[in-house]
A and B are shown apart, each in its own frame.
Chain A
Amino acid sequence: GAGVSQTPSNKVTEKGKYVELRCDPISGHTALYWYRQSLGQGPEFLIYFQGTGAADDSGLPNDRFFAVRPEGSVSTLKIQRTERGDSAVYLCASSLIGGNSPLHFGNGTRLTVT
């Protein structure tokens, strides 16, 4: 079946611009996660949704970052006033019910801020 889909796969933007990154989780998965992976590093947790609500947003680095999941399926990660330090691969994952269900990761969106 279809896995976690992330679009776009690559995004290049200028410093100061606004970007949106989209994640389509596996159908029926209620838990959705965003992670950020900088070059040479492991993924870092950003935010976790259970259904429509953000259960844990403690990993968002500052108020320029925001994520929504209005209908409990597709999620959008929004970054305002992008900075060069935001350049990274943004990974989305989903799981069936959270908890002990395994995470299924998408291929990520590579964001480059010039």
Chain B
Amino acid sequence: AQSVTQPDIHITVSEGASLELRCNYSYGATPYLFWYVQSPGQGLQLLLKYFSGDTLVQGIKGFEAEFKRSQSSFNLRKPSVHWSDAAEYFCAVGAKMGSSNTGKLIFGQGTTLQVKP
């Protein structure tokens, strides 16, 4: 069965420090992978996605993620965190129908990021 694991429930980093949020997935084929961010009281915002091609993908707000098939991972990174990055981050895998992503997403439990001044 498809699943997504985010091993870190809560992470605290200092402003200006680098960030890596971990995501591991279980899927029978090459997955479609996503990272979303959710601020309190807000909807989910797409940070970046991987469908195929270059395994290092760039997203909004200075985020990037790298797809590593051998490790079944899709970790999110940012070189220098800003206080406004404090939020909850969700990794998700997209279910496929044929060669297309259906849009049906399986989310991880989420990682809450706290940024220290």
Q: Tally A residues with Cβ within 8 Å of B.
A: 28
Find out whether the CB atom of A98 lies under 8 angstroms from the CB atom of B103: yes
Q: Give the distance in Å from the alpha carbon of A35 to the alpha carbon of B105 in the complex.
A: 9
Given contacts A45-B104, A48-B104, A100-B101, contact A40 B44 (CB under 8 A): no
Stretch at the interface among A13-21, A70-78, A79-87, A102-110: A102-110
**In the complex, which residues of chain A have a beta carbon less than 8 angstroms from the beta carbon of B51?**
100
Q: Give the distance in Å from the alpha carbon of A3 to the alpha carbon of B42 in the complex.
A: 12
Cβ of A111 under 8 Å from chain B: no
Find out whether the CB atom of A43 lies under 8 angstroms from the CB atom of B44: yes
Stretch at the interface among B68-76, B77-85, B107-115: B107-115
> Distance in Å from the Cβ of A107 to the closest Cβ of chain B?
5
**In the complex, which residues of chain A have a beta carbon less than 8 angstroms from the beta carbon of B32?**
100
Find out whether the CB atom of A45 lies under 8 angstroms from the CB atom of B105: yes
Cβ of A101 under 8 Å from chain B: yes
Given contacts A95-B103, A103-B105, A105-B44, contact A43 B49 (CB under 8 A): no
Cβ of B117 under 8 Å from chain A: no
Chain B residue nearest in CB terms to A31: B103
> Distance in Å from the Cβ of A37 to the closest Cβ of chain B?
8
Find out whether the CB atom of A41 lies under 8 angstroms from the CB atom of B104: no
Cβ of B33 under 8 Å from chain A: no
Chain A residue nearest in CB terms to B100: A99
Find out whether the CB atom of B90 lies under 8 angstroms from the CB atom of A105: no
Find out whether the CB atom of B46 lies under 8 angstroms from the CB atom of A43: no
Other contacts beyond A40-B109, A41-B109, A41-B110: 18, CB < 8 A: A33-B103, A42-B4, A42-B109, A42-B110, A43-B107, A45-B104, A45-B106, A56-B102, A91-B43, A91-B44, A99-B101, A99-B103, A102-B49, A103-B46, A105-B43, A107-B41, A107-B42, A108-B43
